[in-house]
Amino acid sequence: MTLGAIIGWLIVGAIAGWIAEKIMGRNDSLLTNIIVGIVGAVIGGWIFGLLFGASLTGNSGWIWSILVSVVGAVILLWIVGMVRKRS
């Protein structure tokens, strides 16, 4: 893994986390956005992989990566919100 890849993950995570927090009406920190965005990328990649196969989730560019990450991050924030409501 290169430094460029790590920086790319951080950038995509920050953007995706920020977009997801706006969609979900939250106000989180930059670090939280990065974490939510990266975990959202894993969740979104898994879901899109199941739905569309590996061909769509492969090396498809920044925009697609951010879109998949945002979908996963929104799902993650929704699940966290549901868990917090129960407690």
Instruction: Give me the count of residues in the chain.
Output: 87
Q: How many domains does the chain have?
A: 1
The range of the structural domain enclosing residue 67 comes to 3-54+62-86
pLDDT confidence of residue 5: 87
If we measure between CA atoms, which residue out of 17, 21, 22 comes closest to residue 66? 17
User: To the nearest whole percent, how much of the chain has pLDDT over 90?
Assistant: 67
Q: Two tokens at 7?
A: 């920086």
Q: What are 36-62's pLDDT values in tens digits? A: 999 999 999 999 889 887 665 556 788
How many Cα atoms occupy the beta-carbon half-sphere of 47 within 13 Å? Answer: 17
pTM for the structure as a whole: 0.88
Categorize the per-residue pLDDT at 68 as very low, low, confident or very high, splitting at 50, 70 and 90.
very high
DSSP 8-state assignment for residue 59: S
